[in-house]
Amino acid sequence: MAESELKTIARDGLWTNNVGLVQLLGLCPLLAITSSLVNAIGLGLATTFTLVVSSVTISLIRKLVRPEVRIPVFVVVIASTVTVVQLVMNAYFHELYKILGIFIALIVTNCAIIGRAEAFASKQPVLPAFIDALTMGVGFTLVLMALGGMREIIGQGTLFANAHLMFGEAARDLGVTILADYRGFLIAILPPGAFIGLGLLIALKNIIDGRLQARPRKIEEPEAAPASQPV
Amino acid sequence: MDFPTPSSPHLPVPSRVARMMQLLMLALLPGILCAWWVLGWGVLINLLLAGVTAVAAEALVLRLRGRPVLPTLTDFTAPVTGLLLALALPPLAPWWIAVLGTLFAIVLAKHLYGGLGYNPFNPAMIGYVVLLISFPREMTLWVPPASLGGTTLDLVDSLRLVFTGALPPNLGIDALTAATPLDSMKTRLGLSETLSEITSSPLFGNYGGTGWEWINFWFLVGGLVLLYFKVIRWQIPVAMLGTLFLVSGLFHLGDSDQYASPLFHLFSGASMLGAFFIATDPVSAATTTRGRLYFGAGIGLLVYIIRTWGGYPDGVAFAVLLMNMAAPTIDYYTRPRSFGHKG
């Protein structure tokens, strides 16, 4: 596997084909959980872990699985991974587990995961499947964090509040009050804030993409040109 | 002799939107003056804040979008949005309430959807609802009508309170605020008091709330002026007020100790302002003749439901937004039959 192909896969996962901003998959946890940065990180990491483990497993067994039964097999693999995640979080991050609640179990139904399994992992060797799952997961986590951080600052005036739920007692002081004596702009925490925030993030990505396209490309042009030429 | 032939239209008319909006502002005037008389200087401060913010925000967004600023700005739709929002705000609310709500209304609810003519929701009501669910404390501090003999602030004290939050010496915020009639009605009905006990309080006037019935009356007059000049059509206000009257009348007849009278509903809160000035927004309302009747009736019904069983004392904003959501569907099912076709 050429390195450039792996780079393309990584760029796809992190930016061009981002789960949260472009594919718009997994919106249910994305909108419901991002009321604070810590929640967002917790759910993002759990999703990334599930995505990586299930993608690698499915890529390993891709030749043993008959196409007729692939979807149930994918679901079993994903559900097993999520069960592991759920038990681990219940044991070691109990408070966070209680906050995230049903959304940990609902990672099973996150369409991003079965989407990657069906569209990518079931057709690719282990290394690309691993890279794809990892970058897709990290890309999703970054969107969750951006949205979570934004909503937490606007809604409560804090950032990283309750960090000890995620990183242990030592991180308790990590939370910073950005705006002292802030009344809290409640709508940012409420569901409408999630939709408005996600819309603004997508708009921001489109603006950046537009700027990037308008900029003359110097290095990438020769590489990309041969592929796009009609044969 | 040269006779140039200009292309059509041959009878140029000035922008109808601008004229409509100017008439709308004129028609708001009696209600505004009455609200100022009843509720004090806070009303005018809110109007000024929201109006200026609306124009500034509209100019800014138009520049950002690369659209011509002046032609759009002079159609007066932005200040009208600001004024309607300001009339829904509690007087003496901190200055940033009006500014923030107007910014939300103009930038988010109007321009992010594509500007005038494309917004599916009434911008002023979006601004109001955002404020209502974000700042419940500030948004429920209403001042009592001046005629009740409560403390009223003069212009300087009002300005100081709005901009710095500083109260005049030896006055608590409790001395300045009181429940609105609708709020009081809801709370005390919840305490299982009877209607006659509640309405014997000085907060309640002849049929609506003291002061509020006059504000609503003058908005009704303004609305009739709009009807006379054909700025709005009769269907939405008549359907809305008619439904509100009918439904509240039925419940009042059923149990006159539990359900407020129809006249109380018509002359309280934002009934008249909503019926004539807010629900009739030509962009976000239903557009077919029959559709307008359904649209108005839906708002009337929802207002009664929210006031009587909902969590908020008044429901005009929520009712208008919910029916805005239904307007495309209503339009689809009430398309007029084209001539020569069946059904």
Closest chain B residue to A203, measured at CA:
B112
pLDDT value at residue B92: 85
Put simply, the answer to whether B130 touches A183 (Cβ < 8 Å) is: no
At residue B339, does pLDDT exceed 90?
no
Q: Where are the alpha helices (DSSP H) in chain A?
A: 3-11, 27-33, 37-60, 70-92, 94-100, 102-105, 111-119, 126-156, 164-167, 191-214, 220-228
Q: Please, what is the angle between helix B42-64 and helix B77-88, to 10°?
A: 140
- Cα separation values, A51 from A44, A56, A75, A104, A138, Å: 10, 8, 12, 13, 10
Best mutation target among A181, A185, A204, A206 (most B Cβ atoms within 10 Å) is: A185
Put simply, the answer to whether A186 touches B133 (Cβ < 8 Å) is: yes
- Tell me, yes or no, if B135 comes closer than 8 A to chain A by beta carbon: yes
Structure-model confidence comparison of residues B338 and B41, the more confident one: B41
pLDDT value at residue A227: 45
Q: In the 3-class helix/strand/coil scheme, how is B6-42 assigned residue by residue?
A: CCCCCCCCCCHHHHHHHHHHHHHHHHHHHHHHHHCCH
Put simply, the answer to whether B134 touches A186 (Cβ < 8 Å) is: yes
In this structure, of B13-17, B200-204, B291-295, B296-300, the range with the lowest mean pLDDT score is B13-17
Q: First CA to last CA across chain B, in angstroms?
A: 55
The winner for highest mean pLDDT among A100-109, A167-176, A185-194, B298-307 is: B298-307
The winner for highest mean pLDDT among A2-11, A142-151, A185-194 is: A142-151
- Tell me, yes or no, if A183 comes closer than 8 A to chain B by beta carbon: yes
User: Pick from A183, A187, A199: which is nearest to B130 by CB?
Assistant: A187
- Tell me, yes or no, if A196 comes closer than 8 A to chain B by beta carbon: yes
- Tens of pLDDT, residues B160-213: 888 888 777 767 777 777 888 888 888 888 888 888 888 888 788 777 788 888
Best mutation target among B108, B130, B131 (most A Cβ atoms within 10 Å) is: B130
pLDDT value at residue A218: 59
Q: How far is B135 from chain A (nearest CA, A)?
A: 7
pLDDT value at residue A185: 84
Which two tokens mark A19? 């789960």
Distance of alpha carbon A129 from alpha carbon A80, whole angstroms: 19
At residue B277, does pLDDT exceed 90?
yes
Put simply, the answer to whether B133 touches A183 (Cβ < 8 Å) is: no
Put simply, the answer to whether A187 touches B108 (Cβ < 8 Å) is: no
Distance of alpha carbon A204 from alpha carbon A216, whole angstroms: 20
At residue B250, does pLDDT exceed 70?
yes
Q: CB B151: neighbour CB atoms within 10 A?
A: 13
Put simply, the answer to whether A187 touches B134 (Cβ < 8 Å) is: yes
Distance of alpha carbon B134 from alpha carbon A155, whole angstroms: 9
- Tens of pLDDT, residues B99-158: 999 999 999 999 999 888 899 999 999 999 999 999 988 888 888 887 776 667 788 888
Q: Where are the alpha helices (DSSP H) in B255-287?
A: 262-266, 271-273
- Tell me, yes or no, if B133 comes closer than 8 A to chain A by beta carbon: yes
CB pairs under 8 A between A and B: 14
Q: CB B254: neighbour CB atoms within 10 A?
A: 9
Q: What is the CA radius of gyration of chain B?
A: 21
φ, ψ for residue B301, nearest 5 deg: -65, -45
- Tell me, yes or no, if A212 comes closer than 8 A to chain B by beta carbon: no
Distance of alpha carbon B295 from alpha carbon A99, whole angstroms: 41
Options 3.40.50, 3.30.420, 3.30.160, 1.10.3430; which CATH number does B17-333 get?
1.10.3430
Put simply, the answer to whether B135 touches A183 (Cβ < 8 Å) is: yes
Q: Would the pTM count as exceeding 0.95?
A: no
Mean pLDDT value across residues A175-188: 77
Closest chain B residue to A191, measured at CA:
B133
Q: How far is A155 from chain B (nearest CA, A)?
A: 9
Which two tokens mark B124? 């002023």
pLDDT value at residue B13: 65
Query: Which residues are bridge partners to A177 per DSSP?
Result: A158
